[in-house]
Structure 1
């Protein structure tokens, strides 16, 4: 069943899928305040880190925005992705792009609303969780608390956190181990494994 393609706000940009079955495909994205797709360079670094883990993984994209990280995961043979997005127009574009790519509805859920509240509705555990929220909204610590409180992590789950450089010194539980990290002047990227 089609997800339904609706009229949306004008899109002014695109994201590119770097590798996998949709390599090179460009997908439209919404130009909205706070929507900040992960750059190709950061995405390439991240998915190089994830290469041994991504195949057949169940993923949660908590602040999907353009859906860039979730689409890249699906392209590289993740088995399922749950996308969460607050902005209704961006949520609709994710749905439209999944239709364009002919992704099975069994493989994806696209949830619209406050991610921290939506997490309470989930009944699965995840192998890979992306936390890439709007900057300067204080959402990283709250996301970590939510994942822990709701027990959303499967054994050996990986959690990727991208945030503004000045707020990179957030606390994580003792069983979260940073296995990769990279920082620029403005952005911090960290990959944790939960043991």
Structure 2
């Protein structure tokens, strides 16, 4: 796994390895990440990354948020409650020298508190597949004022998602078993 483009292009991220069997880490592949960022930067969403404040829920390795930072996002908040994921995120932040633009929240993404800072423009949501945790996490993010009115939510899952009342589904793109859904606030 590596950073695809930007200031950290080609930087290898920490290997997931066998790690904690209970962690259920499933990093977004380089190929899918590259396709996703092509949509986010040059696709129909204009440039959703440059100067964006990024919220990475169920961050896992932090690869999505770190890719955004490499491509000129302003800052990223990584949220994960898994010990293995937290250690990988910390290591990857150091590898990418992104400590000054990164925050790691060691908590369950489905239980976000009220946002203590400015809201976020770009939200990555990559929950464990087919467990309906994405619906809970995005509901917490919406009620806690984590999204700007123009936020773009990128929700990765294998099963069809239930779109919250406060969001509109813009597009769904399949990548093998993975479906990436693009949503925005109504």
TM-score (norm 1): 0.83
Q: Give how far 1:114 is off.
A: 1.1
The equivalent of 1:130 in structure 2 is 124
Q: Are positions 1:61 and 2:56 aligned together?
A: yes
Q: Say whether the 8 Å CA contact 1:61–1:129 is kept in structure 2.
A: yes
Q: Say whether the 8 Å CA contact 2:59–2:80 is kept in structure 1.
A: yes
Q: Aligned pair count?
A: 176
**Partner SS, residue 159 of structure 1:** strand
The equivalent of 2:44 in structure 1 is none
CA distance in 2, matches of 1:159, 1:30: 25
Q: Are positions 1:170 and 2:156 aligned together?
A: no
The equivalent of 2:149 in structure 1 is 155
CA distance in 2, matches of 1:44, 1:129: 17
Q: Say whether the 8 Å CA contact 1:177–1:192 is kept in structure 2.
A: yes
CA distance in 2, matches of 1:58, 1:114: 20
The equivalent of 2:110 in structure 1 is 116
* Structure 2, unpaired ranges of 5+: 42-46
CA distance in 2, matches of 1:131, 1:25: 23
Q: Are positions 1:182 and 2:176 aligned together?
A: no
**Partner SS, residue 14 of structure 2:** strand
Q: Are positions 1:20 and 2:6 aligned together?
A: yes
The equivalent of 1:45 in structure 2 is 35
Gap change, CA 1:29 and 1:113, over 3 Å in 2: farther
CA distance in 1, matches of 2:138, 2:163: 9
Q: Larger Cα Rg: Structure 1 or Structure 2?
A: 1
Q: Give how far 1:68 is off.
A: 0.9
1:51-104 deviation digits (Å, cap 9, x = unpaired): 111001000001000111011001001000000111112212211221222224
* Structure 1, unpaired ranges of 5+: 1-14
CA distance in 1, matches of 2:138, 2:161: 13
The Cα RMSD (Å) is: 1.7
